[in-house]
Structure 1
Amino acid sequence: MAWIVLALLIALSVYAIILYNTLVKKRQMVEEGWSGIDVQLKRRANLIPNLVETVKGYAAHEKETLDAVTHLRTSANAVPKEDVAGRAKAEGALGQALGRLFAVAEAYPDLKASQNFSDLHQSLDEIENAIQMSRRYYNGAVRGLNVGVESFPSNLIATQFKFEKADYFEIEDEADRAVPGVEF
């Protein structure tokens, strides 16, 4: 009888360890996913000054749009890394401003014909696609962690060791969902 109780305790301990390690793995996947998004957002932020300068050379009187893009880039970079919802909101606003910047570019045929502008636009498109892929990976990792934190019996381990649900990287404003586009 004592052996059965001991075997049961060992089995429960091993199961608890497996659940704990699974939750740790899922939390690490969320952190890895966020790191991927962060890298792509930094790439986009680094591209923006070149884009603004290129447009400024052709459309200097569009100061309001150019200032808005620069201000929103600075604001997005100022959001703390762990504030996923705040970062999503700031990046969405930046995406809208970039859309307006490309709309301004439509009015300047010389700018649209510029190889530098074309290269920057292509780079931005590639980065936007990479952000989208990173967002999908991150949100999938968040879903896995959140299911683990809320599901029985792993929620018992999650509560005991203070595992918390993570926030999705979502775009709140429908207008932000549109990818900035330019037709040449």
Structure 2
Amino acid sequence: MVKGYSNHEEQVFTKIAELRTSNYDSKSINDKIAENQNFSGIIGSLNLTVENYPELKANEEYKRLSENLVIIEDEIALSRKYYNGTIRDYQKFTQMFPNNLLAKLLKSPEFLMFEISENEKENIKI
């Protein structure tokens, strides 16, 4: 049981390490959004795997991990909300006259907003 989980855990943490060291700072905003959504899928995969091993749910370290994940997910949700609000304000600003003329002249970029899939909206069972 532990060996099967351990192998999956190693794969997940390897993927997380790859995402963290992939020159994140030099990427565009839209690339960062796509990478963030990929990261959320990896965390969901870890939680789904734990559901297959009920013995792990009783483990004290797993309980601490799940509590920390809740805190981190809440902080991420607040950051996404702030980012989306800022992008919405920016879009409104660049669509109003005379700002729209200046935005076209300066080739103002379009920024993607964070979107949450239906699967991510559901609470994860821990």
TM-score range, shorter chain: 0.7 to 0.9
Cα distance, 1:73 vs structure 2: 4.5
* Regions of 4+ moved over 3 Å: 79-82, 156-160
Number of the residue aligned with 1:167: 111
Instruction: State the TM-score, normalizing by the size of structure 1.
Output: 0.55
Do the aligned residues in 2 keep the contact of 1:142 with 1:166 (CA within 8 Å)? Answer: no
Number of the residue aligned with 1:104: 49
Instruction: Report which of the two structures shows the higher radius of gyration computed on alpha carbons.
Output: 1
Give, as a single letter, the amino acid of the residue that structure 1 aligns with 2:56.
L
Cα distance, 1:74 vs structure 2: 1.8
Identity %: 21
Number of the residue aligned with 2:72: 127
Do the aligned residues in 1 keep the contact of 2:12 with 2:46 (CA within 8 Å)? Answer: no
**SS of corresponding position for 1:181:** coil
**SS of corresponding position for 1:103:** helix
In structure 2, how many angstroms separate the alpha carbons of the residues matched to 1:87 and 1:61? 31
Match of 1:91 among 32, 36, 49: 36
RMSD: 2.8
For 1:2-151, what aligned pairs fall within 5 Å after superposition? Answer: 59-62=2-5, 63-64=7-8, 66-75=10-19, 77-78=21-22, 80-81=24-25, 82-151=27-96
In structure 1, how many angstroms separate the alpha carbons of the residues matched to 2:9 and 2:119? 17
Cα distance, 1:150 vs structure 2: 2.3
Structure 2 unaligned blocks of 5 or more: none
Give, as a single letter, the amino acid of the residue that structure 1 aligns with 2:3.
A
In structure 2, how many angstroms separate the alpha carbons of the residues matched to 1:175 and 1:65? 25
Cα distance, 1:171 vs structure 2: 3.3
Do the aligned residues in 2 keep the contact of 1:69 with 1:97 (CA within 8 Å)? Answer: no
Name the structure with the higher helix share. 1
Aligned residues: 124
Cα distance, 1:91 vs structure 2: 1.9
In structure 2, how many angstroms separate the alpha carbons of the residues matched to 1:171 and 1:179? 14
**SS of corresponding position for 1:74:** helix
2:120 corresponds to 1:177 = yes
Do the aligned residues in 1 keep the contact of 2:94 with 2:100 (CA within 8 Å)? Answer: yes
In structure 2, how many angstroms separate the alpha carbons of the residues matched to 1:104 and 1:73? 19
**SS of corresponding position for 1:61:** helix
